[in-house]
Structure 1
Amino acid sequence: MDALAGSPLGWLCVGITALFGVTILCRAKRSLAEKANVLAWSLLPVLLGLLCMATLGAGRGLVACAACLISSMYLGSRELLPVGDKAVLITGSDTGIGHALAKYLDNLGFIVFAGVLNKDGPGAEELRRTCSRRLSLLQLDITNATQVQEAYLKVSKKVQNTGLWGVVNNAGVLGFPADGELLPMNTYRQCMEVNFFGAVEVSKTFLPLLRKSQGRLVNMSSMAGGIPLPRYAAYGASKAALSMFSGVMRQELSKWGIKVAAIHPSGFRTGIQGTSDLWDKQEKELLENLPADTRQAYGEDYLLGLKSYLPRMPTYCDANLSPVLSAILHALLAKRPRGLYTPGKGAYMPLCIFCYFPLWFYDFFIRKMLSTDSVPRALRTPEAESKNL
């Protein structure tokens, strides 16, 4: 201890540990009901850090204190608030993630407002049959400002002075996966209208209720909203806009005590690709809007082969939605939620490659990962091939 007392590094070690201890005590004082829990996971690392300083000396003690601080922060990020009487609005609850999330949160004891596109549809009927009376169904087309306002009035009447704890902007459309040049402008507009403008409309409308509770805004983006992926120009652009909106809102709403998170899942089986009837309609619209020279350059077999990608999508996707549901629950209840969640296999690695590696390497990686045998007609000719060498 003599060597520790005479060392500037030792005093730094003591200062860090003392600051850490004061922070923990302040947290316990603010939340007396959880004092025992706070002390259980936090005070022990402090004592361990002091013991390390006393026995290992200043240098190793500092390392021990840093390790204690990091482990405590990690444990703190895993600490969840009680469900209590928290109310959450979920959009797009007819099918997929929204449907599963409504059941999941209802089972945990949340008061759930499940917004559905069709209040008389099979998804809404299943929620009525399987969920508790705490769950309320709302007719909610998020592109319809009147329905959004009506939903706000119904929710505000029920939550009254307590406010709304969470809004999960889940509703979304995929569009027809095809080269960006081929997609009709209507596909771009529809994706932006639902995936971005609809989410913004809902967020802006319900923020007064979130402000009352100092609650959470959770936006369901996509891996395609963080990295460029071939054939997802319309969908990816709309989700990228939603991700940027989430980031800005996270910064701006922090002064109100509202926490904002974006979810970037990898491939999960949600049914977002739609039905065969919808594919036929989208394919017809795509073909009818193509200029003759573009149609000639790509070729009929390439264009007609685009639709074959849609039935294969579920085979590449995970049917287990648990990672996504767990991420949303953490965003809703964690004392220190993350700003970005990447649930699912392969969701984080492409994002890291895109952010930290040269773009040519990322493009090479994506080409290999999403390789396809389909080649436009013009690129099969010797003349076109020689131009691209």
Structure 2
Amino acid sequence: MDALAGSPLGWLCVGVTTLFGVTVLCTAKRSPAEKTNVLVWSLLPALLGLLCVAMLGAGEGLVVFCAVSLISSVCLGGRVLLPVGEKAVLITGSDTGIGHALAKYLDNLGFVVFAGVLNKDGRGAEELRRTCSQRLSLLQLDITNATQVKEAYRKVSEKVQNTGLWGVVNNAGILGFPADGELLPMSTYRQCMEVNFFGAVEVSKTFLPLLRKSQGRLVNVSSMAGGIPLPRYAAYGASKAALSMFSGVMRQELSKWGIKVAAVHPSGFRTGIQGTSDLWDKQEKELMENLSADTRQDYGEDYLLGLKSYLLHMPAYCSANLSPVLSAVLHALLAKRPHGLYTPGKGAYVLLCIFCYFPLWFYDFFISKMLSTESVPRVLRTSEAESKKL
């Protein structure tokens, strides 16, 4: 250590360490909420680097130290959040679920929130009026209604004026009736695409001029089903996959304007997206009425009627704690270097990795075991019984 302290490389190590430490402390000061994370992610690698210098010698140790400092800086840039200030954010689908919780969360953090709701006189809108600050504005916003989208743009433009809109969170979405893709009526496919994809595209295109002014953020809430194929989600998954691809393309195209785009793929959360029992009855009736005689015969009445039980049991497998999703959206809105894709919730990232990096037969086998149901179409039950007799 004495030889190191008196050598030019030793003094270089001290100088680099000092500069790195000052940078870390300045970053922590600018982002008090992330101070602990900043110090952990930065000072620990710096100490590790100095230890390497002491153990390996000045030359090799300096190389290791510079490497860990670079890695730390990359990680640090992804964790440092910009100040909230008076940043304005539009959230669609704020009546219930993630959008409703996000409107409250961002309002509590000091954002100027424009909460788009399907029903401005509904219970969700009333709760936002009652519990949120004066900064929050409610907008009547059916994202499939071009007139309402334009009117929302006019109202937001009047309020933000020259500062622009910092963020747009395309959260509004519908699930449809989870059933085998063959059974779903075309109206379900069209409705899912209309809300989950075309509506989000319409909102994005309309509000992009305001995002350009602020060099802000576009955040699209997709789904785990938008990144991996899941049984019974043909319509919903296809519409969310389209939204995810749209996000990826827009991320590339809008970077020249300084706009950052992120897609969020939550796993199962209890949001109420499955709807009410009245809606299920209506969707089930529509599904049954559109089936051909052959299809109805092959699947069997008990299998078809059992589809609703899947909806009834869905909440039991979903987490009621939405904080992972809210944290992901906040990071996408405020991080200096936000991720292009977020996968909050249990299993979301693991399943995506299995789908991307393992053989498809393995993924299909894994999903079939994980989501196995006791219900089997009538014809397959009959065929299996006959095989056993033989």
Q: TM-score, normalised by structure 1?
A: 0.88
- CA 1:384/1:65 → structure 2, altered by over 3 Å: closer, same or farther? farther
- Matched with 2:311 is 310
Cα distance, 1:75 vs structure 2: 2.3
Matched ranges for 1:49-128 at <5 A:
49=49, 52-53=52-53, 56-57=56-57, 58-128=59-129
Distance 2:90 2:48 in 1: 43
1:59 is displaced (CA, Å) by 3.8
Q: Secondary structure at the match of 1:200?
A: helix
Aligned-pair CA distance for 1:45: 5.7
Match in the other structure for 2:206 = 205
Q: Which amino acid aligns with 1:77?
A: G
Corresponding residue number in structure 1 for 2:278: 277
Amino acid corresponding to residue 276 of structure 2 in structure 1: T
Quick one: distance in 1 between partners of 2:351 and 2:50?
Answer: 41
* 1:51 positional shift: 7.2
Gapped regions of structure 1 (runs ≥ 5): 5-10
Say yes or no: does 1:165 pair with 2:169. Answer: no
1:241-260 alignment, distance < 5 Å: 241-260=242-261
State the superposition RMSD in angstroms.
3.1
Deviations 1:159-211 (Å, cap 9, x if unpaired)?
00000000000000000000000000000000000000000000000000000
Superposition deviation, residue 71 in structure 1 = 2.3
- Structure 1 residue aligned with 2:237: 236
Contact 2:184 2:287 in 1 (8 A): yes
- Partner residue, 2:143: 142
Amino acid at match of 1:298: Y
1:331 correspondence with 2:332: yes
SS at match of 2:218: strand
Matched, 1:219 2:220: yes
SS of residue matched to 2:375 = coil
Give the distance between the partners of 1:330 and 1:131, measured in 2 at CA.
21
Shift in Å at residue 385 of structure 1? 7.0
How many residues are matched? 376
SS at 1:381 equivalent: helix
The residue type equivalent to 1:358 in the other structure is P
Give secondary structure in 1 for the equivalent of 2:63. helix
In structure 1, distance between residues paired with 2:153 and 2:131: 25
Q: 1:175 to 1:285 in 2, by over 3 A?
A: same
Shift of 1:346: 1.0
Judge conservation of contact 2:264–2:341 (CA < 8 Å) in 1. yes
Q: Contact 2:55–2:61 (CA<8 Å) still a contact in 1? A: no
**Alignment partner of 1:362 is 2:363:** yes
**Deviation readout 1:344-371 (Å, 9 max, x if unpaired):** 1111111000000000000000001101
C-alpha separation between the residues in 2 aligned to 1:382 and 1:117?
Answer: 48
Question: 1:42 Cα deviation (Å)?
Answer: 5.8
Deviations 1:14-65 (A, max 9, x none): 89x97xx79x97xx8xx9x94998x977699669747744652344543333
Residue identity in the other structure for 1:247: G
Shift of 1:98: 0.3
2:350 — aligned with what?
349
Matching residue of 1:296 = 297
Any idea what the Cα deviations from partners look like across 1:314-343, whole Å, max 9, x if unmatched?
000000101100110011011111111111
Matched-pair identity in %: 84
Structure 2 gaps, min length 5: none
Distance between the aligned counterparts of 1:240 and 1:265, measured in 2?
A: 13
Q: Report the equivalent of 1:190.
A: 191
- Aligned residue for 2:262? 261
**What's the CA shift string for 1:103-130, capped at 9, x where partnerless?**
0000110000000000001100110111
